[in-house]
Amino acid sequence: MSKSDRLTEIRAIIVRHKRWDLMFMAVGMFALMISVLTFTVLFAQMIIDGMPRLSWDFFTSFPSRRPGSAGILSAWVGTSLVMLVTIATAVPMGIGAGVYLEEYAPKNLVTEIIEVNVTNLAGVPSIIYGLLALGLFVYQLGFGQSVLSAGLALALLILPVVIVTTREAIRAIPVAIREGCYALGATKWQTVSDHLIPYAAAGILTGIIIGLARAIGETAPIITIGAMTFIAFLPPSLVQAEFPFLSFEWLTSPFTVMPIQMFNWVSRPEEAFQLNAAAAGLVLVVMTLTMNGLAIYLRYHMRKKIKW
């Protein structure tokens, strides 16, 4: 085969590969546009239906059998408290477990089994975590159908996500960082605390927000442990006038959350309740988008401060 024939064959291969690239890009763009268009239509319909119901009274009123006077006070307060317990439990445990598995755990069969199970747990249906929380937290440990049980259930749900994301973020740090620290006489803990975790903080934060965004909209585990669909009172306040000025009675209080309140309204036949559910869904979407926006902002500033 002559040189010109080889060049012609190479050009034909390149053109054929470019054609496949264009086809794949077109299919990917089509799939992306379908997803974006679907979300846009649903979100626009939610805004049209729910925006007229958004008012100060809607946020400061308890649920009611009269749709015009019903609000989401107990729902958004309950959601906030449950997410507070979830964050306080899942974040330190997830980061600690991820750091241990990546930096400290010996590479043996037991560690490999743990790693495989942690990865698989990220795909377990949420109802399984609800049943686990019902048997362990509600009955065995006696926490009851409370904010604490709900927060721990959601913490179990997102814990594998936080662990896997933490490991991936630490693994992405160049090996030269570790070698440089050890060459200068740093201990393993100094290397982890002063270099690895700060450099991996942006990626870890991304995993945390992804997990929390999933947890805030979960319904199955919350229903399983006995969240109330109608509640007209608030948990005790977190702050008290006497020393130590913090109260933990709210941890054992009954509760409801935004998805449960939306489910309660959607199950009613009156159209006015459907509009209330759309307004509550709009608030929930805004809360989720706010968390993601905050994560993007923090990740951007963390990466700017990193000096390799």
Q: What is the CATH number of domain 54-305?
A: 1.10.3720.10
Task: Kindly report the pTM of this predicted structure.
Answer: 0.82
- The pLDDT of 249-256, averaged and rounded, is 83
First to last CA, the chain: 51
pLDDT tens digit sequence for 287-298: 888 877 877 777
162, 90 in Cβ contact below 8 A?
A: yes
One-character DSSP codes across 33-94: HHHHHHHHHHHHHHHHHHGGG-SHHHHHS---SSGGG---HHHHHHHHHHHHHHHHHHHHHH
pLDDT score for 10: 67
Whether 308 has a pLDDT exceeding 60, the answer reads no
Close Cβ partners of 115 (under 8 Å, ≥ 6 residues apart): 101
The tokens for 177 are 């960082």
pLDDT tens digit sequence for 71-84: 888 888 888 889 88
Q: What share of the chain is helix, strand, coil (3-state, %, to 5)?
A: 75, 0, 25
CA distance 28 to 49: 32
Whether 215 has a pLDDT exceeding 80, the answer reads yes
Q: From residue 121, give the alpha-carbon distance in Å to each of 15, 87, 212.
A: 44, 19, 16
145, 227 in Cβ contact below 8 A?
A: yes
Question: Which amino acid, residue 280?
Answer: A
CA distance 133 to 190: 36
146, 136 in Cβ contact below 8 A?
A: no
Average pLDDT, the chain: 83
Count of residues in the chain: 308
Domain ranges within the chain, ordered by starting residue: 3-51, 54-305
Q: How big is the CA angle at 228 (ends 225 and 234), to the nearest 5 degrees? A: 115
pLDDT score for 64: 82
Question: Which amino acid, residue 107?
Answer: K
Least-confidence region, from 87-96, 202-211, 241-250, 259-268: 241-250
Whether 9 has a pLDDT exceeding 80, the answer reads no
Whether 19 has a pLDDT exceeding 80, the answer reads no
pLDDT score for 93: 92
